[in-house]
Amino acid sequence: MQSSARRDTSGRLAITTESGKTYFSNGVCQCEAYRRSTACKHRALFRLYAIASEIEETVPEAVSLADDVAASDRKTLIVEIKAAWPKSWGPIEVELLRRFRCSDLNFFAEDVLRDIRLAIAA
Ligand SMILES: [Zn+2]
């Protein structure tokens, strides 16, 4: 029998051990080790689960710029390119014309827009 742990509806951690016994732990426990010393592995596991779920709640999902750019539509890409265009690159129309022989982003292929957006961020 495999040991397993899951939350029950009252927030307790239901831990089924190798022996097939299930303990419900939320800081107290019904097992023999807890009765003797309060130092049982079920409480330790409950605490670990509590810490783990806190971490999951507080860590924001990391979205890389590459993923963000890949998910953007062309309208968003054009707006972002115009907004993020570095001043040091000179006027956007002049630079686009020089590099791509076209000064209007609306005529650019979507993958080219993505490349430009990522080049700005680099
Ligand atoms: Zn226990």
Q: Are residues 50 and 78 in the same domain?
A: no
Q: Are residues 48 and 86 in the same domain?
A: no
Q: Which two tokens stand for residue 24?
A: 């419900």
Instruction: Please tell me the total count of domains within the chain.
Output: 2
Q: Which two tokens stand for residue 75?
A: 């309208």
CA of 25 to the centre of ligand 1 (A): 7
Residue that wins the pLDDT comparison between 96 and 10: 96
CA of 43 to the centre of ligand 1 (A): 6
Dist. CA 96–CA 114, nearest whole Å: 14
Q: Are residues 75 and 37 in the same domain?
A: no
Closest by CA to 92, choosing from 111, 120, 70, is: 120
**Does the global pTM surpass 0.75?**
no
Q: Residue 94 belongs to what domain range? A: 65-121
Average pLDDT over residues 17-31: 83
Dist. CA 101–CA 110, nearest whole Å: 16
Q: Are residues 48 and 73 in the same domain?
A: no
**Tens-place pLDDT, residues 103-112:** 999 999 999 9
**Tens-place pLDDT, residues 49-100:** 888 888 877 767 677 888 889 999 999 999 999 999 999 999 999 999 999 9
Dist. CA 70–CA 115, nearest whole Å: 10
Binning pLDDT at 50, 70 and 90, where does residue 6 land? confident
CA of 56 to the centre of ligand 1 (A): 25
Q: Are residues 47 and 72 in the same domain?
A: no
